[in-house]
Amino acid sequence: MNDMRLAERTVDTDAKAIKFQCRDVQVWYGEKHAIKDVNVDLLDKTVTAFIGPSGCGKSTFLRCLNRMNDTIPVARIAGRMLLDGEDIYDRRVDPVQLRAQVGMVFQKPNPFPKSIYDNVAYGARIHGLARSKADLDGIVEKALRGAALWDEVKDRLGETGTGLSGGQQQRLCIARAVATSPEVLLMDEPCSALDPIATAQVEELIDELRSHFSVVIVTHSMQQAARVSQKTAFFHLGNLVEYGNTDDIFTRPQDPRTESYISGRIG
């Protein structure tokens, strides 16, 4: 079987609304110019993959989308990032509230040292999303079902989340992010610590999640980008070199740098 599975992947031709409009985005870490004048529209209900060689700025750009870079003192951002037309860097935007709307899953599963239930209930509690215990139970169950973990954990919700397998922990982190009903889910190499079976489960899950919201995934695996995404953005030395339909990027790249990367000559 062709590992890229381009032919098997669902090609989605429906026009999708723009979720994020990014205009003239620049990021510096001190003197280091890490993102250079990036313009891109990220679509709703679409998986967008960020690919490119190590250090090209994929994670930096991803972290700008929910203001995680605010937590890095030397980081400075310029330009505009509009979520449904609203500038997420506006003074009036509360970053904590924003991160409920734009959730994030990290490379290494990082469940809290709490029960499975409390991990998932965490965001809903902070943001006051449940009016009663029954409400909260419903949110937890829905999120765990959404993360394809419910059947595996429904009889041990009181057990600690850190006791689950790596793949289960990552799905728990996805459930935790999904529980606040985000509009966008950011994933920074979510499968890099997982074995092939757990990776396949998470990839399948990503495909299901995109029917609910927009997913943006940073990945070092071009096969993974080809399997899970409909749009791909190729970054190189802080520039967004090429952005388009995943099939086009992998089969008919327009820029020689993209061509070199996907054919393994750079990176």
Ligand X SMILES: Nc1ncnc2c1ncn2[C@@H]1O[C@H](COP(=O)(O)OP(=O)(O)OP(=O)(O)O)[C@@H](O)[C@H]1O
Could you tell me the smallest distance in angstroms from the CB atom of residue 141 to ligand X? 35
Could you tell me the smallest distance in angstroms from the CB atom of residue 3 to ligand X? 21
Among 11, 17, 18, 74, binds ligand X (CB under 6 A): 74
Q: Which stretch binds ligand X (CB under 6 A): 28-36, 152-160, 191-199, 239-247?
A: 28-36
Dist CA 254 CA 183 (whole Å): 31
Closest CA relative to residue 88, chosen from 105, 66, 103: 66
Q: CB 13: neighbour CB atoms within 10 A?
A: 8
Could you tell me the smallest distance in angstroms from the CB atom of residue 72 to ligand X? 5
CA angle, 143 then 70 then 207, to 5°: 30
Give residue for tokens 């970054």: 235
Which residue, 119 or 170, is less far from ligand X as judged by CB? 170
Site string for ligand X, 34-73 (x = CB under 6 A): x-----------------x-xxxxxxx-----------x-
Element (H, E) at 140: helix 133-146
Beta bridge partners of 214: 184
Which residue, 34 or 157, is less far from ligand X as judged by CB? 34
Among 32, 156, 252, 265, binds ligand X (CB under 6 A): 32
Which residue, 56 or 217, is less far from ligand X as judged by CB? 56
Which residue, 72 or 126, is less far from ligand X as judged by CB? 72
Q: By CB under 6 A, tell whether 28 contacts ligand X.
A: no
Counting residues that bind ligand X (by CB under 6 A) gives 13
**94, burial (CB in 10 Å: exposed 0-12, middle 13-18, buried 19+):** exposed
Dist CA 251 CA 6 (whole Å): 9
CA angle, 230 then 47 then 3, to 5°: 55
Q: Report residue 117 as tokens.
A: 């239930």
Q: Which residues bind ligand X (CB under 6 A)?
A: 29, 32, 34, 52, 54-60, 72, 74
